[in-house]
Amino acid sequence: MKTVRASTPYGRAIDATADLLSRLRLDFLFVGNVARSGWLGSLVDSGSLDVLALMAPPQKNQVCMMASNRGFRVDRDEIEQTEELDLIPLNFADPEGEIRVHVLIGSNALYGRMLPNGVDAELGTRGFRIAAAEDLALLLAVADDAASHHDREMLIRLPEFDRPAYNRRLVSIGLPHLVIAE
């Protein structure tokens, strides 16, 4: 099991997000900063929380409705603006300041493959799943910032990193130029 480290406000946001999606019985996992923390030991204390969830279109409204009753601020205008992006933008209303939460709707084959590969993680007493190292590395490989590329390099050096599986996934989605030496 991986351990996620987070500042107090981010810990509350992670806990509230995991609780919300669990109560809705959705299959989900954290990607982005939370998964980075689980794999690389970094502290989640800035930026947005990104979580991938598998859901049917009607469940999107359930997420919004339940979130607004569980400590999140839901802006209907933002929801409408992101309708075609398969994204639910939420804001966790923490006493120390709002924390942005992006719920990515697992609607394509790439995301669909990530969910079953999730790895158990914990923050305090809360258990949840994070993206597998190979899936997180794939997401970081297509990012356009130096920190993401650095973290990808750190991930692929982990002893448990499955290079052949990572390379197969890259080739299957049309990114053979990102394949790494095995």
Burial class, 159, CB count within 10 angstroms (exposed 0-12 / middle 13-18 / buried 19+): exposed
User: Measured in Å, how far apart are the chain's first and last C-alpha atoms?
Assistant: 26
pLDDT in tens, 56-114: 777 888 888 888 888 898 887 777 776 666 888 999 998 999 999 999 887 666 677 88
CATH of the domain at 56: 3.30.460
Say which residues have a Cβ less than 8 Å from residue 28's Cβ, sequence separation at least 6. 18, 21, 51, 52, 53, 54, 103, 115, 128, 129
Give me the DSSP letters along 27-40.
Answer: EEEEEHHHHHHHHH
Q: How many domains does the chain contain in total?
A: 1
* Residue 92 · residue 40 · CB < 8 Å: no
The answer to whether position 114 is within a domain reads yes
Q: Is residue 172, in this structure, part of any structural domain at all?
A: no
Amino acid at 90: L
- Residue 18 in domain: yes
User: Residue 166: inside a domain, yes or no?
Assistant: no
pLDDT at residue 109, rounded to an integer? 62
148 located within any domain: no
For residue 153, the model assigns a pLDDT of 94
For residue 159, tell me if it sits in a domain: no
Q: What is the pLDDT of residue 92?
A: 95
Q: Is 97 a member of any domain?
A: yes
Domain with 113, as residue range(s), is 2-131
pLDDT class for 154, splitting at 50, 70, 90?
very high
Give the residue-averaged pLDDT of 7-31. 94
Q: So what's the pLDDT on residue 106?
A: 77
Whether residue 164 lies inside any domain: the answer is no
